[in-house]
Structure 1
Amino acid sequence: MPTARVSSAVMTHPVRRAQAEDMVTRLGLGSLALDPDPDGPPSALRTALVAWSRVAEGATHQFMIQDDVAAPDDMIDLVARCADRFPGEALAFYTNWHARNGGATRLAALAGAGWVRAVPEEFTPTLAISLPVAVAEEFRQYAEASAERHDDEVMCTFLRTGGRRSALLAVPTVTEHTGTSSINGHAAQGIRLAVCPASAEDARPFLYRGWVLEELPWVPYMRYGEGYVRLPGQEHQPQPRHHYTWREALPLTGELTEGQVWDAVRRRRPAAQAVRVAEAFGEPFADEFWIHCLLLGRQAEVAARRHAPAGAQRGGTPGADRLRRAAVSTAGPAGLSPERRPEVTPAYAELLSAYAWTAVTCGESLLEG
């Protein structure tokens, strides 16, 4: 039995109350945190403040989950066991498949890690997140005066203050975002799902005992059909959220050249698959996606060699192999622009995943070169 005592609340709006009440019943959650001004301008933070204040007596940790998230029936037990392992940490149990944190989580999955430290300059994923109760109260007091409406942005700035560290992101994702509607104005982002979807059975060994990737190398990520790189220490730059294309970033890493990348494309990319991807989603995407996955595979190998504990295995068991496949399977849809993601049929998903793996497995040879 875990020693952590987890209190919980579901963030919701009256239009989704029935959905939220079903979550409370099914998952054995504590209470609803209803938007206190449902007719006011959209604000996730307004409702999050209610959720962080709903701490049950005697609790050591507060878990907040949004009403449009699917989760396993034993979610509270899973959260409690993770809180036992990391009692002082902010733990995020969902990470979107796009942007920098999505890239960091996908890289960590390929490296064999169970957790990865979130990049400090990006919003903190808050769809399903736990905090120690003292930290939850500190956040509530910190955020009360904020004019920001996005709780994930305020959480990010909060975790950068007072000597705190950014959240730990669960690499296998047992929660899933449902639907594309958004009370808080995110519907334009289209389909947005977990970066490494996993069953609770596959996830538990990694969450309970898996190693933590604390120091990230430069991180490839994709957005709107183009490949980018998050540079080490980018949070300290004047414009920490600047998106560096991989072409711009490689000279700053001092490790690879654009010429080496294109040489790998010419020599190692499967021509027939490249043609099929180009026919479906355009030649620029076929190029950018393969290069993105090439860099991703290379950097996962770097992370594993530098940071994995001795004896750690990246694959070789059915559960570990499923997690790696899951992380790669989401890379293609996540890399497309939102309006094109619905075009990814099961057949296209299989094509994109197979195409991605040819690039990921090529990454180690790039490292050796």
Structure 2
Amino acid sequence: MTAARVSSAVMTHPVRKAQAEELSARLGLGGLAMDPDPDGAPSALRTALVAWSAVSDTATHHLVVQDDVAAPPELLDLVAGSVARFADDALIFYTNWHARNGAAARLAALAGAGWVRAVPEEFAPTLAICLPVGTAEEFREFARDSTERHDDELMAAFLRKAGRAGLLAVPSVVEHIGTSSINGHASQGVRRAVCPVGATDARPLLCHGWVLEELDWLPYMRYGEGYLRLAGQERAADPRRHLRWQEAMPATGLTEGRVRDIARRERPAESAVEVGRLFGAAFAEELWIHCLLLGRQAEDAARRHAAHSAGTRARTGHVAERLRAAAVSTVGLAGLPPERRPDVLPAHTELLTAYAWSAIRCGSLLLGSDEGGDGGGA
């Protein structure tokens, strides 16, 4: 088997050149991929095509990193180890905390997985992504004449065409920094990694953690409200339609009445009042129900994959709990509308995290209660 050799490039714009140079030097990355038309209309794809062309002659894989990230000195080593394990996949090392893919990574963390297959219909996060060099060349050809300016959208379209979405690293060692956006994403507010952990904790999970390949229905939040992504939604007429959890519930085998009954009985009243006082009663209810459904799905995934994950637990068990804690620490913040996130103090984050855990731990109460009697699994 040929040893993995990873080349790399940092996507940047002249206004961030110094920032990109510092990042490249600190992490030992390759050269800068500069926007070839910095005065033109904003286009991440224009710069991405430069970055994906910067493959070294001896490389088997190529890593592209955007300039507005933080990462540990061990990043290249972690990427190389991951590439050796998943030589043919697109590997994604940063996932937004508020996207469907972020919800998938959070669910996978709670289930004990180290990797999860990305949601096909959503954009593919490209802040730190590694492709086999042949795939990188195919992407350049696919994207060369596109009018799309978002490289993450076109990357997702490319991977969908190939029939295999990228693999998301569940432990997030790459973090997004700042809220500005050359490409027009500033309206999304504070955007962070879904499961932030250090390189030491990430390594055993990336190297030995099991892969959650198939997602059943997926709870996620956006702008303070809870939604469900249903299995196979990528094949729907409008695959990106956001289905409120109440609307989608019949397809899960559960009932809204059963969910609300558990919420009435189990939701901690004092915490609910305090979360409601800070962020609104409607958000407090939506967050708790979202986390209840998240806990149910994570427990179901863990049980369904228990047999083939047993061999990895000895290698990852000591860090899996810290990964779960990291995943839950971001769920409340990510679920808030963007304009509310800057107001959240550390004490508020602690409150939201404890409140989320109170719901996640009740998720197993929904297992076996599905009206179809089959647990709603995939």
Give the structure-1-normalised TM-score. Answer: 0.97
Task: Assess if the C-alpha contact under 8 Å between 1:217 and 1:302 holds in 2.
Answer: no
- What SS class does the counterpart of residue 172 from structure 2 fall into? coil
How many pairs does the alignment contain?
Answer: 366
Tell me if structure 2 keeps the 8 A contact 1:94–1:175: yes
303, 306, 327: which one pairs with 2:304? 306
Superposition pairs for residues 1-369 of structure 1, below 5 Å? 3-162=3-162, 164-253=163-252, 255-308=253-306, 309-311=308-310, 313=313, 317-369=317-369
CA distance in 2, matches of 1:277, 1:269: 12
Alpha-carbon separation, structure 2, partners of 1:201 and 1:316 = 11
> In the TM superposition, what whole-angstrom CA distance separates every residue of 1:24-49 from its partner, at most 9, and x where no partner exists?
11111111000000000000000000
Q: Residue 130 of structure 1: SS of its match in structure 2? A: strand
Per the TM alignment, residue 81 of structure 1 is displaced from its structure 2 partner at its CA by 0.8
Q: Is the 8 Å Cα contact of residues 210 and 309 (structure 2) preserved in structure 1?
A: no
For residues 306-350 of structure 1, give each alpha carbon's deviation from its aligned partner in whole angstroms, at most 9, with x where no partner exists. 124252549994421111010001000000000001111000000
Distance 1:179 1:269, change over 3 A: same
Between the aligned partners of 2:62 and 2:328, the Cα distance in structure 1 is 32
Report the secondary structure of 1:221's partner residue: strand
Whether the 8 Å contact between 1:110 and 1:314 is mirrored in structure 2 is no
Question: CA–CA distance in 1 between the matches of 2:196 and 2:26?
Answer: 20
- On the 8 A contact 2:52/2:62 being kept in 1, the answer is yes
Kept after mapping to 1: 8 A contact 2:204/2:315: no
RMSD: 1.4
Q: 1:38 & 1:207 partners in 2: Cα distance?
A: 36
Residue pair 2:97, 2:191 contacting (<8 A) in 1 also: yes
Gap change, CA 1:270 and 1:49, over 3 Å in 2:
same
Q: Indicate conservation of the 8 Å contact 1:68/1:178, yes or no.
A: yes
Distance 2:314 2:338 in 1: 31
Any idea what the Cα deviations from partners look like across 1:211-248, whole Å, max 9, x if unmatched? 00001010000000000000000000000000000000
CA drift at 1:193? 0.2
Cα distance between partner residues in 2 of 1:368 and 1:202 = 34
Q: Distance in 2 between matches of 1:188 and 1:235?
A: 26
Distance 2:291 2:281 in 1: 16
Q: Is the 8 A contact 1:315 1:321 kept in 2?
A: no
In structure 1, what is the Cα distance between the partners aligned to 2:76 and 2:309?
31
Q: Which amino acid aligns with 1:214?
A: E
8 Å CA contact 1:112, 1:314 repeated in 2? no
| Structure 2 unaligned spans of 5+ | 370-378
Structure 1 portions without partners, runs of 5+:
none
Q: 1:114 corresponds to which letter in structure 2? A: G
CA displacement, residues 112-141 of structure 1 (integer Å, 9 cap, x when unaligned): 000000010000000000000000010011
- Residue 293 of structure 1: how far off its partner (Å): 0.2
What do residues 264-309 of structure 1 show as CA deviations (whole Å, max 9, x unaligned)?
Answer: 1110000000000000000000000000000000000111111242
2-structure distance, mates of 1:10, 1:31: 7
- CA distance in structure 1 between the aligned counterparts of 2:240 and 2:314, rounded to whole angstroms: 31
Residues 314, 266 of structure 1: CA spacing in aligned structure 2 closer, same or farther, 3 A cutoff?
A: farther
